[in-house]
């Protein structure tokens, strides 16, 4: 069975500072990994995904993530955050035998302060 752990429920950071949101996964088979963002009163929007190939994945809004198989991690990073990045961020996993569904972590609230 696959699972996702987001250890940080909330990450406060000042505007223009770098940020890293942590995600660890558990799976006995190869995985596909995703980061989604949820703004207040909105649905989820895909930031980026890793299916195969280069372990460094670039997404929208200046975000990037690195797939680390040995550490079973897929941390999300941004070198300089903006107030508008304040939102809930979800890491998700899928796999070749269950590609129709996503398994989400519990989310990390990024709070950007001026």
Partner 1 sequence: DAGVTQSPTHLIKTRGQQVTLRCSPISGHKSVSWYQQVLGQGPQFIFQYYEKEERGRGNFPDRFSARQFPNYSSELNVNALLLGDSALYLCASSQDWTATNEKLFFGSGTQLSVL
Residues near partner 1, by CB under 8 A: 4, 6, 32, 41-46, 49, 51, 90, 92, 94, 98-107
In whole angstroms, the minimum distance from the beta carbon of 8 to partner 1 comes to: 13
- 3-state SS, residue 81: coil
Pick between residue 4 and residue 57 the one whose CB is nearest to partner 1. Answer: 4
Closer CB to partner 1, 38 or 86, in the complex: 38
- In the bound state with partner 1, the residue whose beta carbon lies nearer, of 40 and 114, is 40
DSSP symbol at 15: T
How far is the C-alpha of 60 from the C-alpha of 3, rounded, in Å?
Answer: 25
Q: How many CA atoms lie within 13 A of 6 on its CB side?
A: 25
Q: How far is the CB of 54 from partner 1 (least distance, A)?
A: 17
How far is Cα 21 from Cα 30, in angstroms, rounded to an integer? Answer: 22
Distances (CA, A) of 95 to 34, 38, 102: 11, 23, 9
Nearest-approach distance from CB 103 to partner 1, in angstroms: 7
**Nearest to partner 1 of 43, 114 (CB atom):** 43
CB of 102 to partner 1, least distance (A): 5
């Amino acid at each position: 069975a696959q699972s996702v752990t987001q250890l940080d429920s909330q990450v406060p950071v000042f505007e223009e500072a770098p940020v890293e949101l942590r995600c660890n996964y558990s799976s006995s088979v190869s995985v596909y990994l995703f980061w989604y963002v949820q703004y207040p009163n909105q649905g989820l929007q895909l930031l980026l995904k890793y299916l195969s190939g280069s372990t460094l994945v670039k997404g929208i809004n200046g975000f990037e993530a690195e797939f680390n198989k040995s550490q079973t991690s897929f941390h999300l990073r941004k070198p300089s955050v903006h107030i508008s990045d304040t939102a809930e961020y979800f890491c998700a996993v899928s796999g070749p035998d269950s590609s129709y569904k996503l398994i989400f972590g519990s989310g990390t609230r990024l709070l950007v302060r001026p």
